[in-house]
Amino acid sequence: MNGTDGGRGGGLTAAEARPERLREWLRGLPLAQPRRAATLLAERLDELGALALRPQDAIAALETLTPAVGELEGALREELRRIPGFPVGPTARTGLVAREALHACAAAAWARLLEALEDKGAARTRATAAVRVLDHAARWLLARYAHYQPPDPAAWRLLHRSFARLHGDAEAAARAAHDLEGVTLTPRAAYARALLLALANPYHLMLGEADTVYAWAAPLAGRLTLGGEDGWAAVDLTGEAGPVPVELLAGSAGTLRIDPEPVAAALRDRLGEILREHPPAAGRAMPLPVRRERDLLLRLLEAWGRRPRRHQQRAAVPGRLAIVAGLSNVHAVLTGGAPFAPAEQEARIARATRDLHLLRVLDEAEPHTPPPERRTFRAIDPAADVWQRVYETPEEPAAEIRPADESEPSIVESADVSAGGLAAEIRPGAPVRLLVGELLAYRGAEGDGWHVGTVRWMRQVADDGTLRIGIKRLDRSARAVAVRAVAGTGSGGVYQRALVVPDTDPLERPAALVTPAYIYDVGTVLLVQMESRIVYLRLTKALESTARFARYLYEPTRAPATLPPPPREPMRAV
């Protein structure tokens, strides 16, 4: 924040800070270019915070700018969801910088107001200022967590100081106020929500989930126990770091103990409701939004419900690593790039094995004849469309679309190894783009066998955008297969690529089945096409579910009496 002298700061005058003048300024903000608009708005908030205004004038000015802050926050959040993977390029990084600056400057401006209101003004006004400081500082952290960056110590320092200030203002601390998005919170709940975000293992969350967790944490924040004698976590209110195991702060005068167990109990209650409303034995598919909620609840329960522990020691083993990302690409390297034509292969297997049941289904299936192509208009080239040119903005897109086929291995640097996986570093400019929850095949650059794993976490470790990723090994081998659902969730759909992990005969040795995400569920019966035979497996338990793949236990079963024919639709990469 800039200094102040004579009612002027950073080029903004007190007259220009009046609501009507600010509304006029907002009308010229380029909202169609959210990164540019957010940068300009952050600068205006910085200037506003540096002005020596009367508290009532400062409140009026900040409230005038608040709707624009919320609108740009939403636009930048949507840009994040379109990122195809990390590390990101310079264009996408500007979105992070703009989102972070927006909340850093808003938090600082509200913090200055809160200081001016100390022991003055109505308790309701002090509560509003406190909630806004805490909310914007938490969103400052959120912007960095969402991009897998370490938190800014200044954000934690502001959160701790603002919360500690309320210890001497019990009247304001008990009052509720609205945050940026209109959620009603007390200052204590606003602070607790930031702690819950940090305790959610943000570097283990999938793309966009940090924003979801922050929203979910609002109604749960009141359950977080602060200052009691129980709980495995704590913060130092005189420091500038987030929650850590309580033993690390032994002897610190500013220690505030945190117990997430009441929050974990609420998650368990919600999971129980989901299972009662959608029992696996009912034979009905669980709606996709509910399945996503269930999966995130399970991971949050793991984070909030118990103290994090490392069970396996890591050893530094520098070297080069070849990796391939995505189920389709992993399938391709395991098959040596063989064409994926499962419908035709199913017919060949049925004839070769004299599977009368399957042959009858194939014979009864009507041949697929594509409808004749009819064109009643000529497609318009967007580059030649005058209306496209009129409405397009000069701002670059946040990210380029990731190609569907990236089966050529990328070389990255391994950092350390443990019994359960390894860590690797990916530098800017590397051809691979990864997401938490992505499926990987990896091996030593010298050409060892392919191992199968998943990106468990990622974190930026250098200002140039270098990422360190944690790879959880699923197994040292896998078998590529093709599957289609013949009963249960996903029945009647197209063939999908899948893996049997480890590489084994699924009828002779227990294994897991890796499939695309959200297509199947527990209870689904899959026709599994191997090299020269077909088997049927019923999914019995979900071991892991991410936005990129799912991993199930299964049991062998018989073909259903009514067997849908293989579809003829073209396949899409997963």
State CA 429 to chain mean position distance.
Answer: 22
Amino acid identity, position 41: L
pLDDT at residue number 19: 97
Please tell me the distance from the alpha carbon of residue 242 to that of residue 151, in angstroms, as a whole number: 9
Query: Residues in the chain with pLDDT < 70?
Result: 1-10, 119, 280-283, 307-312, 354-407, 445-446, 568-574
Q: Are strands 225-226 and 233-236 parallel, antiparallel or unpaired?
A: unpaired
What pLDDT, on a 0 to 100 scale, did the predictor assign at position 570? 47
Q: What confidence score (pLDDT) does residue 353 get?
A: 73
Q: What is the structure's pLDDT at 365?
A: 56
| pLDDT for res 390 | 33
Q: pLDDT value at position 359?
A: 62
Q: What is the pLDDT of residue 147?
A: 92
Q: Which residues of 364-403 are buried (b: 16+ CB within 10 A; e: fewer)?
A: eeeeeeeeeeeeeeeeeeeeeeeeeeeeeeeeeebbeeee
Q: Cα–Cα distance between 201 and 208 in angstroms, integer?
A: 14
Q: What would the pLDDT profile of 430-489 be if each residue is shown by its tens digit?
A: 888 899 999 999 998 667 789 999 999 999 998 888 899 999 999 999 999 999 999 998
d(CA 411, CA 366): 47
Confidence (pLDDT) at 374:
40
d(C-alpha 205, C-alpha 303), whole Å: 11
